[in-house]
Structure 1
Amino acid sequence: MKWKLVLAALFLNCCAAAGIQAETIHLSAAASMTDACKEIIAAYEAKQPGAKVLANFGASGALAKQIEQGAPADVFISASTEWVQHLADKQMAAPGSEKTFAGNSLVFVGSAKAAVLSMEKLPELKRVAIGNPKNVPAGQYAKQAMEKAGIYAALEQGQKFVLTDDVRHALMYADQGEVDGAFVYATDALLAKTAKTLFTVDAALHEPIIYPMLLTAAGAKNAAAKAFYDYLSGAEAKAALKKHGFAVNP
């Protein structure tokens, strides 16, 4: 009889563990979303004690490639439509789940002692940090803006770019004075410790900065992930985004 009780206890423990596993949600989100998403996650977990959101922040391109290679992800928030479309093309997104999450703007930050610059004067600087345009949307937007302004070639040929793995590292270099300035999102600039915004990039110089999100094919099979995905479109999540400087739809 005793061994039956032991087996029953083990069975119940396994069921409980399975339940906890089913409530685990894997979120992959653009690095610039770190602070806003952490606040959203904390609020969600407080409302849903059984849910646990495990977040992975980084460059949108790098995250999309990780997901493509099998990294666990139920919800993906990108800083550009390119990488959401990439996963959709690979049939790794739940059909019809792509939607706009937030918006942002691009700014150039540098030393608080620096004079206010303009895009045209950037070739006069020695070192400019941008996210690597191959993987980092902020870098892609910055490259578009500089190309349209006619200054990208001069900076590239002068080997003045310091390429970073994500937009937060570009901000870090500007904050630490290791570069003359950096292209970052307006929301990142709010987190600067020493750097200040020297100018806002004309939005007409680059594609609209939109953060799309999707539910992955794996996430569509996870009821907890679907609930969290729906929460991201709600009033509480939007309030957190606005608090951190993002633009949201009413």
Structure 2
Amino acid sequence: MPVSRLPFSGRPTEPVTVPDVVRSFAADDAITPVWQNELGGLTFRLDDGRGGIRYIKWIAAGTPEIDLAAEAERLAWAQQWVRVPHIIEQGADTDGSWLVTTGVPGRSAVDPRWVADPKTAATAIGQGLRLLHDTLPVHRCPFDWSVQHRLDAARQRLHPGARLSDRLQPHRHPGGITDAETRIDQPPPIDRLVVCHGDACAPNTLLHDDGAFAAHVDLGALGVADRWADLAIAAWSTEWNYGPGYDTVVYEAYGIDPDPERIAYYRLLWDMT
């Protein structure tokens, strides 16, 4: 059964139903919903009151866009080189699937503390992304996030008669969307292959209280791709979370000049897939 899209991703603004499996894992821990994505996926913080923090992600069955088993594989691989949450358990039943991980030090770049200081947050996003790209070994990565891989997966999920361009919003692509189906099959040449985060939006970067980069979370799409597949979205997400003007901070902190052609292409790809 298709899952309805919600109009936002962010902290839940209304009460949410806590799945039975989350209550089971929590036992006596305090349960706090901390995130809800556009597909209805939920993330809960479990706090034992003694400094022990866990997080559990849950997604309803029948949501092919999110594969928590695949995320567990990627976390297990990436933790050999970079700071990411460690896996406690991953599983599934007829209602949905879940992933339980340890907490890692730091606050999300969209925590109110950092929304009030967006330049510091955008700097950490750029620096953290450069560290990830420079550290994870491309030649040892078993995961693919290439253009063709993403297009193939997205097209397999389409309903009969639907097109990838049906998801596009004209105001997000000033160059127009009428030829999007043609343009998306003509990617720019690869700049530099890296192991990409796969969802480098601002919420998935954590900062220490002094503003330094701390860690990455939500690596469910991690894989080898052109670094602009991450960069274009990381910078774009600062507009959604902080307002205009901080995309250049991300590029400066990463140590690269903006590439308009690649930025436009990978933002189009993001919205279409």
Q: Could you state the TM-score of these two structures normalised by the residue count of structure 1?
A: 0.28
Higher-Rg member (1/2): 1
> Larger helix proportion, structure 1 or 2?
1
Point out which structure has higher relative CO (alpha carbons under 8 A, 6+ apart).
Answer: 1
Q: Could you state the TM-score of these two structures normalised by the residue count of structure 2?
A: 0.26
